[in-house]
Amino acid sequence: MRAKVLVAVLTIACLPGIAPAHADEAPNLFYGYVQLMNNYIGRGLSQSVGKPSLQAEIDVNPGSGLYGNLSAVHIGWIDKVYPGDSVHIEVDGVIGWREKFGRSGEMKFGVLQMQFPGRYKLQSPPVQRPDTTEVFGYIGWNGVSARLNYDVTDSFATPDSRGSWYLDTNANWPFADSWNLGAHLGRRQSRGRNPLTGADNAKQFSYTDYKLSIARGFGLGTSLTLAYSWTTADPAIYTLNGYNVGGRHVSVVLEKDF
């Protein structure tokens, strides 16, 4: 059923005439990329638990108006949190509205559905699947951007965590020829209490994350990014099989746009 919803989202976004391009822009319905990474860092955490990962994403209507987005990435954390599970892919679908302004301004808002297809073993006590739905708002201008994601369901199988949010801020500075410096500051704020233990989700799962990066473009839509990231996440909570997913990480990302 969820797969049919994602297909419907992309089908709607592809309908002609919904989102006309600017008069000075050539029509371009699709944009996408493929990334090969030594370590997939998402929201400051190693989602692949220190292992290499591959990600692919396609955006339907990169211009102003109604747009859709579909991505898939290899992950490894669910199997470590819940032994016996076999879940290696995260699939994200977005439906939203985007407006571009000025020469580099962009605003957008929409709904993000994160799904984790795979084989799940019955746990004791039982746990829910980590599928999560968020609403988001974004604004960016001249290399500076901010995005707020707000959970309208429980967050990644954490009980009573509806209302958790993640703030993602970024700044980018192009320099020299085809080089770019980047800085990121993020904040994950969890909500609620575990109904079985009474533990405060905010104290256990909230953290701030940071990242510094340098990227080099090589033409033909190819780039290489080197990044250093770290967080304030509690190692006692965010260590999986001896690996601190919220620790200090160096990541290398090779990207090909199309």
Q: What pLDDT shows up at residue 202? A: 96
State how beta strands 179-189 and 207-217 pair: antiparallel
Q: Is residue 99 part of a domain?
A: yes
Strand boundaries in 126-190, DSSP class E: 132-141, 144-151, 165-175, 179-189
Q: Is residue 21 part of a domain?
A: no
User: Could you tell me the CATH number of the domain that includes residue 66?
Assistant: 2.40.160.40
The distance from CA 78 to its chain's CA centroid, rounded to whole angstroms, is 16
Q: Is residue 213 part of a domain?
A: yes
CA distance to 27, 28, 33, per residue, from 189 (Å): 39, 37, 30
Question: CA–CA separation, 44 vs 186, rounded Å?
Answer: 8
Taking only the tens place, the pLDDT of each residue in 17-65 is: 333 333 344 457 889 999 999 999 999 999 999 999 999 999 999 889 9
191: number of Cβ within 10 Å:
19
Q: Is residue 235 part of a domain?
A: yes
Q: Is residue 22 part of a domain?
A: no
Question: Do 13 and 235 contact (CB within 8 A), yes or no?
Answer: no
Taking only the tens place, the pLDDT of each residue in 63-95 is: 899 999 999 999 999 999 999 999 999 999 999
Q: What angle do CA 112, 167, 114 make, to 5 degrees?
A: 20
Taking only the tens place, the pLDDT of each residue in 182-240 is: 999 999 999 999 998 899 999 999 999 999 999 999 999 999 999 999 999 999 999 99
The pTM of this model reads 0.87
Q: Is residue 163 part of a domain?
A: yes
Question: Residue type at 116?
Answer: F
Cα Rg of the chain (Å, integer): 19
Helices (H), the chain: 2-14, 77-81, 201-205, 235-238
Question: Domain tally for the chain?
Answer: 1
Question: CA–CA separation, 184 vs 229, rounded Å?
Answer: 9
Biggest alpha carbon–alpha carbon distance for the chain: 59
Size (the chain), residues = 258
3-state SS, residue 106 = strand
The rounded percent of the chain whose pLDDT value lies above 70 is 90
Identify the domain containing residue 227 by its residue range. 2-15+29-257
